[in-house]
Amino acid sequence: MRCVEKPKVLVPICICIVSKVPLFRTFLSIMNKLSAKASHFLHYPLEVYINFLTSSIPMPPRGFHKLSIQVFDSELVEIVPPPPNALPVCDVSFYPLAACLSAENAVKAMNYIVLERSVILVSSRIEMLGPVAEALLALIFPFEYQLIYAPVLPHKLVDLLQTNCTFLVGMHRWLFDRSRRFINSSVCIVDLDEDKVHC
């Protein structure tokens, strides 16, 4: 009997950070540093480092505190919440919003959100839904959105569209086209692909 060595197989992985805090640019910076080191030998699997980052490191309170994180031997990444009397943390890129909507339509969408109308963001590029929704919510400051919010609505939650509650959701065009019959006529549709707002 011969012992045959099995060939090594490299499988690509995809890692996503899910957090209560919308620090998109900070997490992107940390993920870039982690992925650069992932190609080298790590003492633990990459997921262990990410789990430590998201569950063991507390967000510093608003005020004069800051949190510095050093990812391996790279430079420090700092998280500095603003003082209580300053604007909130806005770690959101406004580029996706500006790329998808004209200024006029962005203002219309913000207006409907502030007036507590139900709004559906629709795009064939699912990666645009979250950043555009977060940018719109950042622009309504000093108001805070307290209603139902799902930046990317999963297929299993399509029934939410039939409720009488106010919501802000993002939908992939494929799901939106298949769910049109559930959508109330009072819902505002913001089409990110066509730069149109329908109410």
How many CB atoms sit inside 10 A of residue 105's CB? 18
**Partners of residue 169 on adjacent β-strands:** 120, 150
Positive or negative CA dihedral for 111, 124, 26, 147?
Answer: positive
- Contact by Cβ (8 Å): 60, 79: yes
H or E stretch covering 130 = helix 129-139
The whole-number pLDDT of residue 74 equals: 66
Mean pLDDT of 17-38: 74
Mean pLDDT of 108-130: 94
Least confidently predicted of 59-68, 105-114, 153-162:
59-68
Mean pLDDT of the chain: 82
CA 155 to chain centre: 18
Identify which of 11-15, 68-72, 112-116 has the greatest average pLDDT.
112-116
**Partners of residue 76 on adjacent β-strands:** 70
pLDDT digits (tens, 9 = 90+) for 99-116: 999 999 999 999 999 999
The whole-number pLDDT of residue 65 equals: 73
How many CB atoms sit inside 10 A of residue 153's CB? 22
Which of the listed CATH numbers 2.30.40.10, 3.30.9.10, 3.40.50.11500, 3.40.50.2300 matches domain 95-198? Answer: 3.40.50.11500
Looking at the predicted structure, is the pLDDT value of residue 1 above 60?
Answer: no
Q: 185, 181, 153: which is closest to 167 by C-alpha?
A: 153
Span(s) in the chain for CATH 3.40.50.11500: 95-198
H or E stretch covering 38 = helix 24-38
Of 152 and 61, more confident: 152
